[in-house]
Structure 1
Amino acid sequence: MPLDSKDIKDEGADPSQDADVLVSQLAAQDETPWYKKRNLRTLYFILVPTCIGVEMTSGFDSSMMNGLQTVRSFDTFFHSPRSTLLGLMSAIYSLGAIIVLPVVPWVSDHLGRRWAIIVGSIIMMIGAAIQAAAQNFAMFVCGRLLLGCGIPFAIIAASSLIGELSHPKERAILGSLFNSCYFIGSIIAAGITLGTFSMPTNWGWRIPSLLQVLPSLMQITFIFLLPESPRFLISKGRGEEAFAILAKYHAEGDVNSEFVKAEYVQIEKTLQLEQETAHRNWKELLATSGMRKRMLVGSALGLFTQWSGNGLTSYFLARILDNVGITDKHTQSIVNLATTLWGFVNATFFALVSSRFPRRVMYLFCTISLLLVFTGWTIASARYNIANDQASSKTVLAFIFIYSPCYNMAYNALTYSGFPGRVVPVPRTGEGYRSVPMVLSFFNQFVNPIGIENAGWKYYISYVVFLLFEVVFVYFLFPETSNRTLEELAFLYEDDKREEQQRRVVDEIDHDVHGSGSISEKHGEAAHIDEVPRSA
């Protein structure tokens, strides 16, 4: 029989605390580092190729498209794509993601996280093969469309598995490292295109295109060494399996662990909340001023992560360098590789330290520094355009490198590690957040090469203006979520009725952790989203 919350009792729990706070407290009391726990250490090693490494596919794609623009055979075969054609080549990847997004949660929630990763990986491998074998522009674009169709299955399931399998002590760091792996894929692709850019045959661009199968192949190879999500198993009535996984990896096999019992109850409560709110429509979700504010901030964050200039350097670096006189293909390839290496270094650094700083402060530093960088970048580009000043060209190059840590300190480090989920609570996080970046990424990637081609440095002014808006928005509307439970965040947003409901739930969850009764007989919504696994 599956475990029920009534089977999980603990006499030592503090009755004044809810399950989430109890989980956080017990995790903090555990002073043994992860690398000294055999089972947890093994789990994290397997997470690298199967889940954390999923972002390598996106990183490979952006850097490959950057690099292919320096490959002479690519330019010759596709008749020097610029402006609209180049935008379509790049943006079609995001369009594929948009097309399949409605079915991704169904696959992940019905087949499991592991099978969702397999489905996505197979689709991406087929797409990469078509892309590499392309005989014309249309076939190349179709291959990239399939690549885009596969990536949401893998990314959403992998990010969920990271949160649902990892120990709460390392969860935020692993979530941040997930984004850092983007740069590993970028480095590999940049190195490959640097090695093939001078090839006289079409293999100069076909080899990088074909090697895009590698991250997906790695995921398929290792995925069944990874346990399934306890959250998924509980949702399917397989509670005993879920409890065994939690005990094995979070308590080194101790089935009597108070911490594991609290985690189990926490997951059950969250799933119950999702079932209660699953059939609410958008009108109901936006009925209160608090939820409208939450959705506004969550959607704005999705907008900011895509429209802060990152799309320029990720996909169109060669065109930016062309506009400031750096036209040598070999030099452009080296710059592409150097920026990806530098991005990996600073992104990993911020992934490891971001949890030590208040999130709102990180976002403020991020947006203000990006505004200053883009202002200087725009001025230097204008000076080069007016006076053909080589010093201005070098200044633009310097700003490209400075941009990377300014962006990664918050928009990269915090994207998968807490802020969105704490502002837009389960289960609305997926509705209010995940779809926004994909839609905006398509628009951004399509428009950027057109703007660069037709407006030159003047196009950057639009980013300066928008970044100024970001600074103002973050300053006035972003809440500080560090060291606050969901109940405390609800008090910031919601009315007195909501506050009273949250207080009632605190007593109910604690009763389930160490008292009697079944969760199915109660209602509750107490959760610390940083610590609660989120549904794909």
Structure 2
Amino acid sequence: MAPDKNWLSAQSARQADPVLTRIVEQDHTPWYRKPNLRKLYMLLLPTCIGIEMTSGFDSQMINTVQISPQWKAYFDHPRGALLGIISAAYNLGAVFALPLVPYVNDRYGRRWSIFLGSWIMVVASLIQALSVSAGMYVAARFMLGFGIPFCIIAGSSLMGELAYPKERPIMTSLFNALWFVGSLIAAGISFGTQGLNDDWAWRIPSMLQMAPSLLQIIFIFMIPESPRFLVSKDRREEAYRTLVYYHAENDFHSAFAAAEMAQIEHTIRLELINSQRSWRELITVPGLRKRTIIGAFLGLFTQWSGNTLLSYYLNDLLGLIGFKDPNFIGKLNVGLNSWNLLNAVVISLLVRRFPRRKMYLTCATSLLFCYIAWTVSVQQYQTTAKVEPARLTIAIIFIYQACYNIGYNALTYTYLVELFPFAQRAKGITIFQLFGRSAGFFTTFVNPIGLEDIGWRWMITYCAWLSFEIVFIYFMFPETYGRTLEELAFLFEDRSLADEATMKVEKQMEWAERRWSRVEDRMSWDMDVIMPNKFDVRTEDTYSSRGAPTNRGSGDGVAREVASTPTTVHKQAIRGERGGWFDN
């Protein structure tokens, strides 16, 4: 059966004329030359992009403490099922949190969700570091996992919804790339504490897992709320100010900001009219059902592609090829994470240049080849005990990580944010997290059992699964490359809805041009009348950037200087009405 063209071709993402995309493509000013946008991106680094550092820290920490003699002795040398549940408790906690996450996101906003999840993880890190039994340690890891989805789902959504369209794919790709920053830090800390002869050799890394969460707590309210969330709550002027300040460098004359606001407002209005924002819709509505299936399987792919073996059980894998020296394993761990961080960042910076489907297919196919070669090399070492297959295995591990980063690291949240419309974005990413965390719990629990029972043959199961991934991606993944979020909102829906949203944008741009033309005709740019963005002689008041009076005029007829942004008075004159910004 031939694949459905609506699912496969790039045309499926081009249901309407991409008006806003064309405007963005004509903007050749880099982000670092835009002060307000630069400030936004710097603040997004600790608050949103850095969220995955916690997950990276966790997986590497639980990997490296297994090398620690003090940790092994304290918990009575856990193996098999006990070792599995210690590692898997993190993902199990996340599964239990997921039903609550969309409600917090959609009711209270992205920032409050991040704030809540961060506090949960700070408390859990303290409990983990002070654990006196295996049960307490498992409970702390469960609590850590319970907190992380609040941050991941809100952070990935907020970053995609705040970023300028040109940089959005890069920003959302860096979200996962910083997983390796946390992983590298954990590897370095754990390696450094190996020299300690008491329990602090593992308690210090366990406590320091709270560091990324503390950064989020400190900085989260320094960034704005999502404009799309604000529009959905009928807080239009706040949303518009955010777009103008960050996407138009505080230029209220910007045609782009006006068009973007019109597109967001009208698209969300259409979404809310055609959506009840319920879980049931993800199954009953055909377009959302397709998205849900893709999101669910993408969650499985990110965890069942063999990566959890490396993330949690590198010690056992190296044992299969004769490497058991803790000092060597610690150094290899640091080197591997440094390599991962380097290629993950490079791939994230290049993600704008390549279509999503090609990157995913390249990723899955290369992973299959790596796993086949990896399985054969381990089998050869077990048979011959020669050093060459062991060295080849280490080389394959490095190649495998780069291949994984091409798709499942660099594209995951970029693709999810593009795939789901605003009304169901939080729930859609929750579905991804549900399947991903469930798959992660399963694999982290059964991996040590499989390696202990059948050794290298356990890796054959991943070869079979990776073959399935290639087929699924080819037939099911649509192309989302090169469009704004609103242009993708009706990817699987009636084309007329997308056309209607596009017409609204074009109408708004024409309206803005006519309105500014009339305003300019009425305005004299002579200082005796008014200097836009600087003076308001009608009231002789000085205004702040938010339009609030800050200094009364002296009454001597001399105009008072005001902030560089148009005042509320100016904006009302331009709008010519009291209604919504784009209701004309």
TM-score normalised by the shorter chain: which range applies? 0.7 to 0.9
SS at match of 1:102: coil
Asked if structure 2 preserves the Cα contact closer than 8 Å seen for 1:95 and 1:442, the reply is yes
Q: Which residue of 1 aligns with 2:525?
A: none
Q: CA deviation at 1:395?
A: 1.6
Query: Using the alignment, how far apart are the partners of 1:136 and 1:283 within structure 2?
Result: 42
Q: Which residue of 2 aligns with 1:87?
A: 84
Query: Using the alignment, how far apart are the partners of 2:15 and 2:467 within structure 1?
Result: 41
Query: Using the alignment, how far apart are the partners of 1:505 and 1:294 within structure 2?
Result: 21
Encode CA deviations 1:2-40: one digit per residue, 9 max, x unaligned: xxxxxxxxxxxxxxx999823222222222111111111
Q: Which residue of 1 aligns with 2:507?
A: 511
Q: CA deviation at 1:387?
A: 2.2
Q: Does 1:341 align with 2:338?
A: yes
Deviates more, 1:127-136 or 1:396-405: 396-405
Structure 1 residues 338 and 287: alpha-carbon distance in aligned structure 2, compared to 1, 3 A threshold? same
Which amino acid in the other structure matches residue 480 of structure 1?
E
Query: Using the alignment, how far apart are the partners of 1:248 and 1:195 within structure 2?
Result: 44
Q: Which residue of 2 aligns with 1:389?
A: 386
Asked if structure 2 preserves the Cα contact closer than 8 Å seen for 1:56 and 1:215, the reply is yes
Which amino acid in the other structure matches residue 396 of structure 1?
T
Which amino acid in the other structure matches residue 360 of structure 1?
R
Residue 416 (structure 2) aligned to one of 406, 420, 436: 420
Q: Does 1:469 align with 2:468?
A: yes
Q: CA deviation at 1:149?
A: 1.0
Structure 1 residues 453 and 296: alpha-carbon distance in aligned structure 2, compared to 1, 3 A threshold? same
Deviates more, 1:205-214 or 1:425-434: 425-434
Query: Using the alignment, how far apart are the partners of 1:55 and 1:266 within structure 2?
Result: 30
Structure 1 residues 116 and 333: alpha-carbon distance in aligned structure 2, compared to 1, 3 A threshold? same
Aligned residues: 502
Asked if structure 1 preserves the Cα contact closer than 8 Å seen for 2:110 and 2:155, the reply is yes
Q: Which residue of 2 aligns with 1:326?
A: 323
SS at match of 1:271: helix
Which amino acid in the other structure matches residue 84 of structure 2?
G
**What is the aligned-residue identity percentage?**
48
Structure 1 residues 291 and 119: alpha-carbon distance in aligned structure 2, compared to 1, 3 A threshold? closer
Rg larger in structure: 2
Asked if structure 2 preserves the Cα contact closer than 8 Å seen for 1:316 and 1:449, the reply is yes
Q: CA deviation at 1:486?
A: 8.2
Structure 1 residues 397 and 147: alpha-carbon distance in aligned structure 2, compared to 1, 3 A threshold? same
Structure 1 residues 201 and 443: alpha-carbon distance in aligned structure 2, compared to 1, 3 A threshold? same
Query: Using the alignment, how far apart are the partners of 2:268 and 2:67 within structure 1?
Result: 49
Q: Does 1:177 align with 2:174?
A: yes
Q: CA deviation at 1:108?
A: 2.2
Asked if structure 2 preserves the Cα contact closer than 8 Å seen for 1:272 and 1:520, the reply is no
Which amino acid in the other structure matches residue 339 of structure 2?
W
Structure 1 residues 493 and 226: alpha-carbon distance in aligned structure 2, compared to 1, 3 A threshold? closer
Q: Does 1:359 align with 2:356?
A: yes
TM-score, normalised by the number of residues in structure 1: 0.87
Q: Which residue of 1 aligns with 2:573?
A: none
Q: Which residue of 1 aligns with 2:495?
A: 499
SS at match of 2:202: helix
Structure 1 residues 457 and 330: alpha-carbon distance in aligned structure 2, compared to 1, 3 A threshold? same
Encode CA deviations 1:359-412: one digit per residue, 9 max, x unaligned: 211111111110110001101111122222222221211111111110001111
Q: CA deviation at 1:45?
A: 1.0
User: More helix per residue: 1 or 2?
Assistant: 1
Asked if structure 1 preserves the Cα contact closer than 8 Å seen for 2:21 and 2:483, the reply is no
Residue 129 (structure 1) aligned to one of 121, 126, 129: 126
Residue 370 (structure 1) aligned to one of 367, 370, 387: 367
Q: CA deviation at 1:287?
A: 4.8
Residue 184 (structure 2) aligned to one of 187, 208, 217: 187
Q: Which residue of 1 aligns with 2:153?
A: 156
Q: CA deviation at 1:100?
A: 1.3
Q: Which residue of 2 aligns with 1:14?
A: none
Q: CA deviation at 1:293?
A: 4.0
SS at match of 1:237: coil
Encode CA deviations 1:213-235: one digit per residue, 9 max, x unaligned: 11111111222222222222222
Relative contact order: is structure 1 or structure 2 higher (C-alpha 8 Å, sep ≥ 6)? 1
Query: Using the alignment, how far apart are the partners of 2:62 and 2:239 within structure 1?
Result: 42
Query: Using the alignment, how far apart are the partners of 1:19 and 1:119 within structure 2?
Result: 39
Q: Which residue of 2 aligns with 1:440?
A: 439
Encode CA deviations 1:448-505: one digit per residue, 9 max, x unaligned: 12212212100000000111111222233333332468899899856xxx33454445
Structure 1 residues 174 and 468: alpha-carbon distance in aligned structure 2, compared to 1, 3 A threshold? same
Structure 1 residues 118 and 296: alpha-carbon distance in aligned structure 2, compared to 1, 3 A threshold? closer
SS at match of 2:76: coil
Residue 263 (structure 2) aligned to one of 263, 266, 289: 266
Asked if structure 2 preserves the Cα contact closer than 8 Å seen for 1:18 and 1:507, the reply is no
Query: Using the alignment, how far apart are the partners of 1:487 and 1:251 within structure 2?
Result: 18
Query: Using the alignment, how far apart are the partners of 1:292 and 1:241 within structure 2?
Result: 33
Structure 1 residues 414 and 107: alpha-carbon distance in aligned structure 2, compared to 1, 3 A threshold? same
Query: Using the alignment, how far apart are the partners of 2:500 and 2:217 within structure 1?
Result: 45
Deviates more, 1:230-239 or 1:77-86: 230-239
Structure 1 residues 521 and 42: alpha-carbon distance in aligned structure 2, compared to 1, 3 A threshold? closer
Asked if structure 2 preserves the Cα contact closer than 8 Å seen for 1:346 and 1:405, the reply is yes
Q: Which residue of 2 aligns with 1:27?
A: 24
Asked if structure 2 preserves the Cα contact closer than 8 Å seen for 1:19 and 1:513, the reply is no
Q: CA deviation at 1:426?
A: 4.3
Q: CA deviation at 1:128?
A: 0.4
Q: CA deviation at 1:67?
A: 0.8
Residue 209 (structure 1) aligned to one of 206, 210, 215: 206
TM-score, normalised by the number of residues in structure 2: 0.80
Q: Which residue of 2 aligns with 1:479?
A: 478
Unpaired stretches in structure 2, ≥5 consecutive residues: 1-13, 513-578
Pairwise CA RMSD = 2.7
Query: Using the alignment, how far apart are the partners of 1:483 and 1:451 within structure 2?
Result: 43
Query: Using the alignment, how far apart are the partners of 2:269 and 2:118 within structure 1?
Result: 31
Structure 1 residues 476 and 233: alpha-carbon distance in aligned structure 2, compared to 1, 3 A threshold? closer
SS at match of 2:221: helix
Query: Using the alignment, how far apart are the partners of 1:205 and 1:279 within structure 2?
Result: 48
Encode CA deviations 1:272-326: one digit per residue, 9 max, x unaligned: 2442344366665445765554433332222211110111111111111112111
Which amino acid in the other structure matches residue 416 of structure 1?
Y
Asked if structure 1 preserves the Cα contact closer than 8 Å seen for 2:277 and 2:424, the reply is no
Deviates more, 1:366-375 or 1:267-276: 267-276
Query: Using the alignment, how far apart are the partners of 1:77 and 1:19 within structure 2?
Result: 62
Encode CA deviations 1:142-169: one digit per residue, 9 max, x unaligned: 1111111111111112112211221111
Query: Using the alignment, how far apart are the partners of 2:340 and 2:362 within structure 1?
Result: 18
